[in-house]
Amino acid sequence: MKDGNGKKVVLAYSGGLDTSICVRWLVDRGYEVVCFMADVGQGGDYKALTKRALGAGATDVIVHDLKKEFADEYVWPSLKANALYENQYPLATSLSRPVIAKHLVEVAHKVGATAVGHGCTAKGNDQVRFELTVRMFDPKLEIIAPVREWEFDSREAQIDYAKKHQIPVDVTKKKIYSIDENIWGISIEGGVMEDPWVAPPADTYITVTPIEKVTAKPREISIEFKEGIPIKVDDKAYKSVELIEYLGKLAGKYGIGRVDMIESRVVGIKSREVYEAPAGFVLLEAHEELERLVLDGELLRLKQQLAVTYADLVYKGLWFTPMREALDAFINSTQRKVTGSVKLRLSSGLVQVIGRKSKHALYQENLATYSTGDKYDHSMATGFMHLMGLPYEGAAKHLLKKGK
Ligand code: ARG
C-alpha cells in the first residue's frame, strides 16, 4: 500500500485486538489515525478502550452513542417489514453497519480526514456493508481495510506484532468465536462451530439461557403497538432501547431467541451462524400476528413477499438506497393500521401468540361465528362459488379413471 504521508484516516474501532493492531499498522505506514467507536449496545468500557486506542497510536478517539438512533431508525423499520434473512436471521449485525458507516463518514468530514478504515476480513458481509455505505455518502473517501491486506498469516504473528508495539493483549482470553453484539442481537461464529454438524457449545450462550437450564415458570405478556412500533409491555410504556433490553432479558430467561443456521453470504460462501435475538423473535412474532388481524389478505401477502426483498436488501448493505426508501414508504402506509395489542405466552424455548386486539381489526365475530348472532349472508355463497369455479369447469376430467 502507498505511504500514508501523514494523511488522516478515521478507523471504525471496536477495541478488540484486530482493530488495535490496525491502528498501529496504519501509523507504521505513515497515517494519522483517529478512532471512531460506535456504541450500538455492545457494552464495553469506553474509557479503557479509548486509552487502548491512544496507546496503540491513535491521535484522537471519538465515541458516539448510537443506540437510540439505531433502534428508532434501523431496527423499527426492519421490524415493521418483518425482515428475517433466509427466514431465520433477524439481521442485528447487518442493520448496525449502515448506521456505523454513516457516522464514520460524518466523523471523517468533521476531522478533515481523506480516508476511512475498518477491520473487516475479505470473507465477510460486513466489508460489503461498510464500503457500499461509505461510497453512498462520499465516493471520494479512500477506504482502507488493513486486515484484508496485512502480512500476518496467523493469530500468533498478530500477537507478536501487538507485543512488539506494546499493544495490550489478553492472551488468557483465547479468541474462540467471532462475536458481534448490539441491542437487537448477537452473532456468534467460528471455533468448533465451523463444522456444521457440531452442536453449539455451552459457552456460545450469551443472553439466552439453554433450554435445559430454564427455571422460569411460563407466563403471559402483552405487547402494545402503535403504527407498527412496540410502545408498551404489560401496559408499561418503554422507550425503544429500554423496551428491546427489557424484552430481551425476559425472553432470554425462557431460552427464547436462538437460531443455528447455514447462511448464504453476499461473497458467495455458505457459513454457519448462531444468533441470539430474544427480543427480536418475540417482537416479530407479535407484530406479524397483529398484521394478520388488521391487513386484508391481498395486502398481507404482498407485504410478506416484500419482507424477503427487504431482508435481502438489509443483508447486502443496500440500506441507503432508493429501493429501501420506496419499500419503507409502502410499509409505513400499511403500518397506519398496525395499532393494537398482542398477548403471548412465554415458556421454555417457546413464544406463542394467545390473543390479539385492535381498533382496526378486520376480524368480526358476528361474521365468523358459527353460533347465534351470525350476520354473514349465507345466500351469497352459492353464487360466489358458481362464478369462481367457471374457468375450471371440466379442468380435471382427464384425471378420472375410465370405466371398462
Ligand atoms: N453473518 C452475519 C452477518 O453477515 C454476522 C456477521 C458477524 N460479524 C462479525 N464481525 N462477527 O450479518
Give the CATH number for residue 136.
Answer: 3.40.50.620
Under 8 Å between Cβ of 326 and 376 = no
**Are 214 and 297 in a shared domain?**
yes
Residue 93 beta carbon below 6 angstroms from any ligand 1 atom: yes
Residues 6+ away with beta carbon under 8 Å from 190: 176, 177, 178
Q: Which residue has the higher pLDDT, 172 or 230?
A: 230
Give start and end residues of each alpha helix (H) in 82-125: 92-111
Q: How far is the CA of 187 from the centre of ligand 1 (A)?
A: 6
* 234 in catalytic set: no
Give the CATH number for residue 268.
Answer: 3.90.1260.10
Inside any domain, residue 25: yes
**Are 74 and 41 in a shared domain?**
yes
Ligand 1 atom nearest residue 125's Cα = 4
pTM: 0.96
* Final residue of a structural domain among 143, 178, 213: 178
The mean predicted confidence, pLDDT, of the chain is 96
Total domains in the chain come to 2
**Are 140 and 247 in a shared domain?**
no
For a mutational test of ligand 1's pocket, the pick from 181, 187, 264, i.e. the residue with the most ligand atoms closer than 8 A to its C-beta, is 187
Inside any domain, residue 369: no
Inside any domain, residue 381: no
Inside any domain, residue 295: yes
Cβ–Cβ contacts within 10 Å for residue 72, how many? Answer: 14
* 178 in catalytic set: yes
Inside any domain, residue 384: no
**Are 285 and 156 in a shared domain?**
no
**Are 151 and 31 in a shared domain?**
yes
For a mutational test of ligand 1's pocket, the pick from 14, 96, 126, i.e. the residue with the most ligand atoms closer than 8 A to its C-beta, is 126
Under 8 Å between Cβ of 255 and 211 = yes
Residue 50 beta carbon below 6 angstroms from any ligand 1 atom: no
Q: How far is the CA of 100 from the centre of ligand 1 (A)?
A: 14
- 108-122, 151-165, 307-321: which has the minimum mean pLDDT? 151-165
Q: How far is the CA of 270 from the centre of ligand 1 (A)?
A: 12
Ligand 1 atom nearest residue 266's Cα = 4
Q: How far is the CA of 40 from the centre of ligand 1 (A)?
A: 15
Inside any domain, residue 375: no
Of the pLDDT bands very low, low, confident and very high (cuts 50, 70, 90), residue 367 is very high
* Final residue of a structural domain among 178, 199, 222: 178
Q: Which residue has the cell 456504541?
A: 39
Q: Can you spell out the DSSP letters for 120-180?
A: --TTSSHHHHHHHHHHHH-TTSEEE-HHHH----SHHHHHHHHHHTT----TTS---SEEE
Quote the pLDDT of residue 404. Answer: 67
Quote the pLDDT of residue 171. Answer: 56
pLDDT of 172 strictly over 60:
no
Under 8 Å between Cβ of 328 and 265 = no
**Are 200 and 293 in a shared domain?**
yes
**Are 24 and 49 in a shared domain?**
yes
Quote the pLDDT of residue 2. Answer: 62
Ligand 1 atom nearest residue 92's Cα = 12
- Report the pLDDT averaged over residues 365-394: 95
Q: Which domain holds residue 114?
A: 8-178
Angle between helices 17-28 and 46-56 (to 10 degrees): 30
Inside any domain, residue 383: no
pLDDT of 1 strictly over 60:
no
For a mutational test of ligand 1's pocket, the pick from 22, 118, 120, 189, i.e. the residue with the most ligand atoms closer than 8 A to its C-beta, is 189
Measured on CA atoms in the order 248, 250, 252, 257, is the torsion positive or negative? negative
Q: How far is the CA of 158 from the centre of ligand 1 (A)?
A: 22
**Are 142 and 28 in a shared domain?**
yes
pLDDT of 236 strictly over 60:
yes
| Catalytic residue (one of 20, 96, 126, 180) | 126
- Report the pLDDT averaged over residues 277-297: 98
Ligand 1 atom nearest residue 189's Cα = 11
pLDDT of 167 strictly over 80:
yes
**Are 171 and 205 in a shared domain?**
no
Quote the pLDDT of residue 65. Answer: 98
Q: Tell me the pLDDT tens digit for each residue of 183-221.
A: 999 999 999 999 999 999 999 999 999 999 999 999 999
Cell numbers at residue 266, please? 453476499
**Are 37 and 146 in a shared domain?**
yes
Ligand 1 atom nearest residue 120's Cα = 10
Q: Tell me the pLDDT tens digit for each residue of 15-37.
A: 998 999 999 999 999 999 999 99
Inside any domain, residue 284: yes
* Final residue of a structural domain among 155, 178, 201: 178
* 126 in catalytic set: yes
Whole-angstrom CA distances from 268 to 86, 187, 253 are: 15, 19, 36
Residue 69 beta carbon below 6 angstroms from any ligand 1 atom: no
Quote the pLDDT of residue 387. Answer: 97
**Are 185 and 169 in a shared domain?**
no
Q: Tell me the pLDDT tens digit for each residue of 70-110.
A: 999 999 999 999 999 999 999 999 999 999 999 999 999 99
**Are 140 and 184 in a shared domain?**
no
pLDDT of 258 strictly over 90:
yes
